[in-house]
Structure 1
Amino acid sequence: MAQNTYPIPPFPEQQQNRQPGLTALMDPQPDHGENTYRGNGRLAGKAALITGADSGIGRAVAIAYAREGADVAISYLDEEQDDAMETARWVEKAGRRALLLAGDITDRTHCRNLVAKTIETFGRIDVLVNNAAYQMSHNSLEDISDDEWDRTFSTNIGAMFRITKAALMHMKAGGAIVNTTSITADAPNPGLIAYAATKGAIQNFTGGLAQMLAERGIRANCVAPGPIWTPLIPSTMPPEKVKNHGSHVPMKRPGQPAELAAAYVMLASDEASYVSGATIAVTGGKPII
């Protein structure tokens, strides 16, 4: 679909009371590339583990990876079973194997088990996409509880460290790690202060990791999305921000998950053999510094 045909805000009122939200309740429905992404065998024979792969960016990446020839392990929260099964359906429709891995990545044992089960099923792990994230909106620091702060960091950066550490025991030269950071890493949003702080940490972690792994032939990069139309938006943001999500960037609309897939494919592919430590901005025309 051409970018100028995607929905432009204002959007209908649609608050969701549970986080991270459900795709089926969104209006308009997000585009994950179900009917548009065309694969070219760029990940043929590879196996990928993607966290937060049940919906949003994770689903779009899973669909693209499968159509590029990869088997896909889908990590998601227990309550996102329906969305995860839909992602798995698209992976299998592309002729690839889908592995459903339910659980909470704030649990340290579960982080290790994600990798172990991927290896047990696929026999390898070539690409790791650390995409799962937690966020909540607040107008003041005093409104953020200690537990929420800890959950944000444990989900967004703590799990990334643990899953990456476990995966590296099995990854070989040519492997790729792709971490989802955010435009907020460079342009902090005061209403998302905990989330933005983790995204800055992710970008820094990835830059250091790229240097650490260079001699092993394993690459690490980031994708930095701007405002994207995913279930996280109506489930974590106030009504007015949901209604006008994405209107502040030059393209005047939020990106669709499908519009990020190509960046994740490129960074995972052998064609990006000299790209490591980079951050790819997908921000609707808003520059990052």
Structure 2
Amino acid sequence: MGKDENVHTAYKNYAPEAQEQKLPGGDVDMEPLAEHASLLSSLAMTKVERWHRGEPRLEEYVGSGKLKGKKAIITGGDSGIGRTVAAFFAREGCDVTIGYLKEEEKDAQETKKLVEAAGQKCLLVPGDLVFQETRDQLVAAHLKEYQYLDILVNNASQQIQCPDIADIDMDNVEHTFKANIIQYIGLTKAAIPHLKRGDVIINTTSVTAYKGSAGMLDYSASKGAMATFTRSLATQVFGKGIRVCGVAPGPVYTPLQPASRPAEQMEDWSVGSSSVLNGRVGQPAELGESYVYLATSELSTGTIVHPNSGQYFIP
């Protein structure tokens, strides 16, 4: 499907090509590449005539020291939303540790370049986080490098489509829950003894946790569990002064999508799709500020923010 000129966006890459990858997928192999650090310029937004002529401007996100001196662990930080979080945190003065699969090494190196270009350190720790030993090792490696931990971003997830429950592969279901909600709980268990008053845990859930997904029953169920886990843990650790919050994005252009959809669906999934309210999927860069806000807002505990372009109304 071609680009729709009526779609209001400054991103020239908002309409993906037909493409398919194998899980876990790679940012470097996407066509076109996703955007991780550029946002619509507020200056351009104030000039309505430029908007109507299709000339809104993108500018690189520039931080203001909101996370200066902080140290964060970000899972799935090699690509997609995780790479954006790493870039935004680094531009706010935060050193990061990235947890990722060994198959994602090329993407992880690109994220490291983004972080270091912002003047911050980036520790890469490969490993499969479905295993508790790997989760423990990730936290230990981070502490060895930085001595302390301020922010944990549970972000890495898996999704596999299956349109009919009669055909669902229970091995896939079990692995999805291990890679998603069980991983979040296990890594948090490893990290929580090292968090202190004022620190924060941010969980990436999904709009599918609230509206469901006919084609991804197990994925959406695991994302619903993440939302409940976020609110439950926030209550449990409230007395320790540790905040727990989450982000529930709508559809976002990440490697997880071509790795879990047929090639033709990637093309149809964007412009004009009934699953995308504003006419296009989101770019990872558009979510970065949500994570910065939650990492800095003292009032955010138990909060889940919903950057989904109005796709689903949260009462």
**TM tier relative to shorter chain:** over 0.9
Q: CA RMSD in A?
A: 1.5
CA distance in 2, matches of 1:143, 1:278: 36
Unaligned runs of 5+ in 1: none
Of the candidates 22, 37, 47, which is equivalent to residue 33 of structure 1?
37
TM-score by length of 2: 0.87
Runs of 4+ in 1 over 4 A off after TM superposition: 7-10
Local SS of the residue matching 2:215 = helix
1:1-289 paired onto structure 2 within 5 Å: 4-7=9-12, 11-16=16-21, 18-33=22-37, 36-246=60-270, 247-248=273-274, 249-269=276-296, 272-289=297-314
Deviations 1:43-97 (A, max 9, x none): 0000000000000000000000001001000000000000001101111111111
CA distance in 2, matches of 1:285, 1:27: 26
Given that 1:20 and 1:232 are in contact with CA atoms closer than 8 Å, whether structure 2 keeps it comes out as yes
Q: Which amino acid aligns with 1:49?
A: I
More divergent stretch after superposition (22-31 vs 148-157) = 22-31
Q: Which amino acid aligns with 2:281?
A: P
Percent of paired sites with the same residue: 42
Unaligned runs of 5+ in 2: 1-7, 39-58
Deviation at 1:218? 0.6
Given that 1:56 and 1:231 are in contact with CA atoms closer than 8 Å, whether structure 2 keeps it comes out as yes
CA distance in 1, matches of 2:145, 2:198: 20
Local SS of the residue matching 1:232 = coil
Deviations 1:189-231 (A, max 9, x none): 0101010000000000000111111111110111001000001
Given that 2:294 and 2:300 are in contact with CA atoms closer than 8 Å, whether structure 1 keeps it comes out as yes
User: Looking at CA atoms only, which structure, 1 or 2, has the larger radius of gyration?
Assistant: 2
CA distance in 2, matches of 1:141, 1:89: 42
Given that 2:245 and 2:301 are in contact with CA atoms closer than 8 Å, whether structure 1 keeps it comes out as yes
TM-score by length of 1: 0.95
Local SS of the residue matching 2:237 = helix
Given that 1:9 and 1:243 are in contact with CA atoms closer than 8 Å, whether structure 2 keeps it comes out as no
Residue correspondences, number: 285
Deviation at 1:250? 2.4
Given that 1:8 and 1:254 are in contact with CA atoms closer than 8 Å, whether structure 2 keeps it comes out as no
